Chains A and B, each alone.
Chain A
Amino acid sequence: MGCVEALNYEIVLRDASFKECREYIKSHFPESIDVEPGFKIFDVHTIGVPPISVGLDGDFVIFPYTKPCHGTFLLRVEDAQEAARLRALKKAGR
């Protein structure tokens, strides 16, 4: 798996549950896409209880990142190309 440390991320939530992350994305961001566990965002395979919500806000992608000892973080990363890819998948009815 790619290392999340390579991304220039901002932590939106820390030590959250998967449910809290899903609810936060649905209530705080104008767009979102639901993906299945294992779906690759940037170079990271997402971990979580399906459906996993990923937020889109302009060029920002907001997604959950889970580590065994630290729970789930909600990360916000600016990347126009990845945001466009996710929007295209959403439009295609993924």
Chain B
Amino acid sequence: MAGNDTTTDVLQAKKTAVLVLGCPQVPVQTSVALYLTDRLAGAGIAPVIAGNRAAITLLVVADPKRHYLKEVMDLDRAVAQISEKKRDFDLCFVFIHNDAGVSYAATMAAISKARIYPVIYGEHWEEMAARITFPCTKIAAKAVHNPMPLKKIIDEVAPSWAA
């Protein structure tokens, strides 16, 4: 029955993902964030980007017509909303190139029910990856200026998003 189909559609709400951006000082972050946003949208997952003003501005200027970017929000606000159980996501990608990034990933793992995907890059990627001990799927490579190593791993991991 058509009525039942409609009910099913409502119950099967669209999956959501939050991309938690770090400090934008490592060039690959902006590029990989836009790529990931596009991959998620292509998989039918609604991407939301959370970051500080600098990280968000880099993205908004790079995508002025919002072909890739959908919702963006302040990082502190995202942490507050998830902590206070006002909002949550199915998937969470945390961009990490320093100790602060590890702290944000651990925080998201503690406050959110989302499946956590740390995206680890930069000069100290191995050291940062070793600091992450909670259950997650790490997307990690030595990428500073060249996003291709991270892109390759994202492409490998992408089929798991639908699970």
Contacts and interface: CB of A to CB of B under 8 A. Distances in A.
Q: Do A and B come from one complex?
A: yes
Interface of A: 1, 17-18, 36-38, 40, 45-50, 66-72
A38 B23 contact: no
Main secondary structure, interface of B, reads helix
B52 A38 contact: no
Given A17-B99, A49-B103, A68 B23 contact: yes
Given A18-B103, A49-B102, A37 B80 contact: no
A36 B108 CA distance: 11
A46 B79 CA distance: 9
Interface of B: 21-23, 25, 51-52, 54-55, 75-77, 79-80, 82-83, 98-104, 106-107, 110-111, 131
Given A37-B106, A38-B107, A72-B103, A47 B79 contact: yes
A67 B55 CA distance: 12
Nearest to A18: B103
